[in-house]
Amino acid sequence: MFVDSLSSFIAADTSLSGIDGDAGDLIIRGISVEEIASSFSFTDLVHHFLQGVLIGLPAYADMKPAFGQARQAAFAVVGAIDDDLLTLPLTDALAGLLSRVPRGTPTETALNLIALPSVVVPALLRRRQGLMPLAPNPDADHATDILRMVSGAMPDPVQVAAFNTYLVTVCDHGLNASTFACRVVASTGAGAVAAVTAGLCALKGPLHGGAPGPVLDMLDAIGTPEEAAGWINATLARGERLMGFGHRVYRVRDPRANSLRHAVQRLAACGLIDNQRLALAEAVERAALDALRQHKPDRPLATNVEFYTALLLDALGFPRDAFTCVFAMGRVVGWIGHIGEQEAAHTLIRPQSRYIGPVPS
Ligand code: ACO
C-alpha cells in the first residue's frame, strides 16, 4: 500500500514524547509540556529526558556542573570559525561546526553536542558583527549564559525565564521530520555526530524549523492590524500558506503555542517586548484563524509553535535568520534521546519505494 508522506505510518516506538493531536496534548517522558514549560530549567530537562537513555549520565545534582563543562568544551570549536564560514547561512555554518564537536565517552560527546549550538551560535552572531565571541561561564544557568554570550550583557530574569521556557518547550515532539532524519542516520550506525547533523539539515526547511523567520516577514508585510484580513485573504487566494499555522499532527491549537504565548505576555507585562508588535501579532492571529476556517472548512488549521516563537525570539534580540539555529539549541536534546533509543534498537530503517517508471521493452 502506498502511504502518502508517511503521515499515518508508525515508524518507531518511543518512551520520549507522545502527542495526542486531537486533544492538543504533548507528554514529555510522563510530564505534560505545560508543566515542563513552567517548572523545568534546561539542565533539569536534559536530566529528566536522557536518564535511562544515556549510560553514565551525571546524577541530577551533578548535571548543572557537567553541562557547564560541556559548554566550555564546546567553546573550543569557536576557533574554527573563519571568514568563509561567516558568509554561509547560519544553519549551514552550524552544520559545518558540528563535525568539530569535542569527543569523549558516548555520553560526554552527547552532552557536548547538546551544548554546541548554544555556544557556537552566539559566537557566530558576534563574529558577524565584528565582535569577539564570549566564553561560556560554566557556573551560570544555561539560558542566562546563552543570552549573555549573544548580547554581552546580563539579561533580565524575565527574559531568562522566557528563553528557558522556549528551550524546554521545543525539546522534543514525536517523530517530526528532523527527529526522523536523526533516527534514520543513527539506524545505519553512523554515530551521534552524523545523526545530529542530519537532524539540523532537516530542521532548516520552512515547513519545519525554518518557519518563524517568515512569520516576522509576514508581520512586516502586513504592517498594521487593519491590513491583516485583506493581506491574509489575498495570500490564501494566491494559494500560498500562512507561516505559523497548521500542523501535520495537531487538529487543535498546538499546546506549545500556549506556553510560548504566556511567556510572550510576561515579557509584555514587564515592557520587554514592543507592544505595537504584539498587538499586530494578535490581530494577525485572529484574522488568520478566521480566514483559515473559511478557506479550509474541513481541515482544522490552528496556530502552531512557530508563531509565538517568532515573537519571543525577536523580543529576546535574536536576528530572524538565527531562529532555526536557536530552535536547534532546544531540539538537540530530543535528537540525542531518539538517537540513543534508535541505537539501542539495532534496527536499520530502510523503507521500500514503489517503482512507477518505465520498464525495459
Ligand atoms: N496556510 C494555508 N493553507 C494551509 C496551511 C497554512 N499554514 N497549512 C496547510 N494548509 C492547507 C494546504 O495547502 C492543504 O490544502 P490542499 O488540500 O488544498 O492542498 C491543506 O491545508 C492540508 O495541508 P497539508 O499539506 O496536508 O498539511 P500538512 O500536514 O502536510 O502540513 C504544515 C503541515 C507543513 C506544517 C503546513 O500546515 C504548513 O505548511 N504550515 C506553514 C508552515 C509552518 O508554520 N511550519 C511550521 C510547522 S511547526 C514545526 O515544524 C515546528
Question: How far is the first Cα of the chain from the last one, in angstroms, to the nearest whole number?
Answer: 26
**How far, in Å, is the centroid of ligand 1 from the Cα of 245?**
7
Is the Cβ atom of 237 under 6 angstroms away from ligand 1?
no
What pLDDT score was predicted for residue 3?
A: 57
Q: 27 in helix, strand or coil?
A: strand
Of 4, 9, 204, 207, the one to substitute when testing ligand 1's pocket (max ligand atoms within 8 A of C-beta) is 207
**How far, in Å, is the centroid of ligand 1 from the Cα of 246?**
5
What are the tens digits of pLDDT across the range 94-130?
999 999 999 999 999 999 999 999 999 999 999 999 9
CB 257 within 8 A of CB 303: yes
What residues have CB less than 8 Å from 30, skipping those under 6 apart?
Answer: none
Catalytic hit among 47, 285, 306, 343: 306
What are the tens digits of pLDDT across the range 42-85?
999 999 999 999 999 999 999 999 999 999 999 999 999 999 99
Alpha-carbon distance 102 to 69, whole Å?
A: 12
What pLDDT score was predicted for residue 217?
A: 93
Cell numbers found for residue 271: 515592557
Cell 543570552, residue? 147
**How far, in Å, is the centroid of ligand 1 from the Cα of 162?**
27
pLDDT in tens, the chain (361 residues): 555 677 788 889 999 999 999 999 999 999 999 999 999 999 999 999 999 999 999 999 999 999 999 999 999 999 999 999 999 999 999 999 999 999 999 999 999 999 999 999 999 999 999 999 999 999 999 999 999 999 999 999 999 999 999 999 999 999 999 999 999 999 999 999 999 999 999 999 988 888 788 899 999 999 999 999 999 999 999 999 999 999 989 988 899 999 999 999 999 999 999 999 999 999 999 999 999 999 999 999 999 999 999 999 999 999 999 999 999 999 999 999 999 999 999 999 999 999 999 999 9
CB 118 within 8 A of CB 137: no
| Closest Cα to atom 37 of ligand 1 | 246
80-87 contacts: CB < 8 A, separation 24 or more? 81/120, 81/123, 81/124, 81/127, 81/133, 85/124, 86/124, 86/127, 86/128
Is the Cβ atom of 210 under 6 angstroms away from ligand 1?
no
Cell numbers found for residue 93: 555554518
Is the Cβ atom of 314 under 6 angstroms away from ligand 1?
no
What pLDDT score was predicted for residue 210?
A: 84
What pLDDT score was predicted for residue 206?
A: 86
Closest CA to 310 of 276, 277, 266: 277
What pLDDT score was predicted for residue 183?
A: 98
**How far, in Å, is the centroid of ligand 1 from the Cα of 220?**
21
Is the Cβ atom of 253 under 6 angstroms away from ligand 1?
no
Is the Cβ atom of 211 under 6 angstroms away from ligand 1?
yes
Instruction: Check if 306 is active-site.
Output: yes
**How far, in Å, is the centroid of ligand 1 from the Cα of 307?**
13
Instruction: Check if 247 is active-site.
Output: yes
| Closest Cα to atom 50 of ligand 1 | 208
What pLDDT score was predicted for residue 213?
A: 86
Alpha-carbon distance 156 to 131, whole Å?
A: 22
What pLDDT score was predicted for residue 253?
A: 86
| Closest Cα to atom 6 of ligand 1 | 241
What residues have CB less than 8 Å from 56, skipping those under 6 apart?
Answer: 105, 107
